Structure 1
Amino acid sequence: MERDTAKHVWISELLSGSLIPKEDSPTEIMLKDGSTINRARIYGVAVSTNELVVDDSTGSILIRTFENAFDTKIGDTVLVIGRPRIYDNQCYILGEIVKKIDPKWLEIREKIHPRQDPISIIRALDTGEGADYQKVVNKIGEDKVIHLLSTGEIFETRPGKLRILE
């Protein structure tokens, strides 16, 4: 059996994904963009070492292993490769590899796979008459759309069309 490739993802992408339970293959998480992932590669900073918690500036996630032997300190830059899991509505990574790395890898990670903030996504989807509500929800999630509407950063020009307040 061939090992699945670990995909580069931001922690926020994992946390906003939904579980796809499968009996005959590893559990997968469907991301907001529609892609699925069953092995993740995350670069971040260790923010807790009692139970390893990694933060990549988009979110924090718990890293679990059966050995539970992490040689990390708070503030260490780490690379985590593992399988995303959800238990009791909490997403975590079942760590296969946890390795200290040079902090410059975080800069390289940002250049290779830049994170997209919701405003830039809406701006890209706006055709001049507003971005389609359903397309925006598919890209960033309904909770973020509702938050942006309630804070007044975006507004509905007419039903189903969103614009940025500029």
Structure 2
Amino acid sequence: MAQIKRETAVICMINDLLRGSFIRTEGWNPSYFSTEIGDVSRVSLMGVVVSKDASGNVVIDDSSGRILLRSFENNAFHDLNIGDLIMVIGRPRVYNEEKYVLPEIIKKMDHKWGAYRQLQLKLLRKKTGLRKKEARILVKEEKQPINHFQKIIEFIKDLDAGEGADIEEVKKRSGAPNAEELINKLIEEGEIFEVKAGKLKVLE
């Protein structure tokens, strides 16, 4: 299996993501958000918890906007309370046209760090400005003649009767010659997960 390089977490505001566009790349290159501050595949955000829904997902606000934190791990946010200031490092994603972050690290912060982060962001923007985006070979989902990523997600949903979709059946139905590689990438990016050996589910 190809070695996946962990991308550097980019310090940014929530609004940078909300105004950006999600781009899915080919192969093992990480998918990312194309934003005014550059291409972002991992983020470092700091915000206040403003809500928790019935399923345990959390919304944070950093004064520039609000974004959802989602996880397929049970009780991932159980120790977070409304009003907590937290730092989040994770991967920005899109599901059903809603932008969210799949956290890798969550840390509660003292509220004095909020002012420090604002200063940090101001200095970073002054130093770097609006950088030109790096040239990459991109594959936008809406421009693919056959979107195997989306087809795999749809097949998993169709085949999942509650216990997860059989991975071999998903690979067979997808018709993609590199179906296993595509499935592994979707797992790596947090779009789907293996609920148990050989069974896949979509993160919802």
Q: Tell me which interval the TM-score lies in, with the shorter structure as reference length.
A: 0.5 to 0.7
Shift of 1:76: 0.3
Instruction: Give CA-to-partner distance per residue, 1:66-114, whole Å, 9 cap, x none.
Output: 2142110000000111000012211100111111111111111011112
Aligned twin of 2:59 = 53
Give 5+ residue unaligned stretches, structure 2. Answer: 124-129, 131-204
3-state DSSP of counterpart to 1:23: coil
3-state DSSP of counterpart to 2:122: coil
Aligned twin of 1:62 = 68
Aligned twin of 2:35 = 31
3-state DSSP of counterpart to 1:106: helix
Distance 1:113 1:56 in 2: 12
Aligned: 1:19 with 2:25: no
Question: Higher strand fraction: Structure 1 or Structure 2?
Answer: 1
Q: Which runs of 4 or more aligned residues in structure 1 lie more than 3 Å from their structure 2 counterparts after TM superposition?
A: none
Aligned twin of 1:104 = 112
| TM-score (norm: length of structure 2) | 0.53
Aligned: 1:8 with 2:11: yes
Q: Give the aligned residue type for 1:45.
A: V
Aligned pair count? Answer: 115
Q: Give the aligned residue type for 2:86.
A: V
CA contact (8 A) 1:65 1:96 kept: no
Instruction: Give CA-to-partner distance per residue, 1:15-46, whole Å, 9 cap, x none.
Output: 0001111132221100024x100000000000
Aligned twin of 2:163 = none
Distance 1:23 1:63 in 2: 26
Distance 1:108 1:87 in 2: 32
| TM-score (norm: length of structure 1) | 0.65
Distance 1:41 1:74 in 2: 20
Sequence identity, in percent? 43
Distance 2:81 2:35 in 1: 30
In 2 relative to 1, CA 61–41 (structure 1 residues): closer, same or farther, beyond 3 Å?
same
CA contact (8 A) 1:21 1:27 kept: yes
